[in-house]
Amino acid sequence: MAANLITIFRIALLAVIFVFLSRETVNGHSAAFFLTIILIALDGVDGMVARRLHQESQFGSVLDIVVDRIVENCFWIFFAVRGVIPYWFPMIVAGRGFLVDGIRSVALARGMTAFGTNTLHKSKLGAFLVSSRFSRGLYGVAKVCSFLFLILIEAMELEGVRSVLSTGSRQLIIGIGYTTIYFSLFLCLLRGIPVLAESRPFLFPGRTP
């Protein structure tokens, strides 16, 4: 389906972004910055195409989540290896992702989805933190901004940037960037709590949730 092809194309685009970043040039980082914007925009395009062509499916929903995880973890790992963020950052995000997605796979086998009318989350707070447009939108924006700031923070050390921007300007960008990055981590953990809380019927079968 067209929507799934767009989703898969995002992985190829991700590889191109890291090729540009590996050049360690101002032009390479500039290209990676704008390609990252396109990469994130395509995450919304595939959903729009699926709805427009009436191609929504459980497989498409799961594939979208899988590719989102690949994109997210690759960004965190790439910049952790390069020393922009600490090594434990991607460990926490990836660990949370594996745990949450594992629980969701069990829920999916029982006919429950991550989002939508047949969602795993029954409590109002859980549904708000995980499934609401506000929560998903806020977390999505935080991640997008984090990925872009990761590119900018690394670019601040390039000679072509150091010669143009003052030390104060670079420090301001770096400060705002790290604030956004750690806020994204906070939201990541916060939105994982309801999944764990509402998975008690799976973890402790036979008990009343």
Q: In CATH, what number is assigned to the domain containing residue 13?
A: 1.20.120.1760
143 domain-assigned: yes
Q: What is the DSSP string of the chain?
A: -HHHHHHHHHHHHHHHHHHHHHT-SHHHHHHHHHHHHHHHHHHHHHHHHHHHTT---HHHHHHHHHHHHHHHHHHHHHHHHTTSS-THHHHHHHHHHHHHHHHHHHHHHTT-BSSSTTBS--SHHHHHHHTSHHHHHHHHHHHHHHHHHHHHHHHTTSHHHHTTS-HHHHHHHHHHHHHHHHHHHHHHHHHHHHHHHTTHHHHSTTS--
122 domain-assigned: yes
* pLDDT for the residue 118: 55
What's the CA gap between 108 and 137, in Å, rounded?
Answer: 23
67: amino acid identity, one letter: V
* pLDDT for the residue 209: 46
207 domain-assigned: no
The neighbouring-strand residues paired with 119 are 113
What's the CA gap between 185 and 170, in Å, rounded?
Answer: 23
* pLDDT for the residue 52: 72
Structural domain that includes position 26: 2-200
206 domain-assigned: no
Count of Cβ atoms closer than 10 Å to residue 60 Cβ: 18
Specify the number of domains making up the chain. Answer: 1
97 domain-assigned: yes
Cβ atoms 177, 169 nearer than 8 A = no
Residue-by-residue pLDDT tens, the chain, 209 positions: 666 777 788 899 999 999 999 999 999 999 999 999 999 888 776 667 666 766 666 666 777 778 888 999 999 999 999 999 999 999 999 999 888 878 777 766 665 555 555 555 567 777 778 778 898 889 989 999 999 999 999 999 998 898 899 999 999 999 999 999 999 999 999 988 887 777 666 666 655 44
Query: What pTM, to 2 d.p., does this model score?
Result: 0.82
Q: Which residue has the tokens 């829920």?
A: 107
* pLDDT for the residue 59: 65
**Closest of 124, 135, 15, 4 to residue 58, by C-alpha:** 4
209 domain-assigned: no
What's the CA gap between 22 and 6, in Å, rounded?
Answer: 25
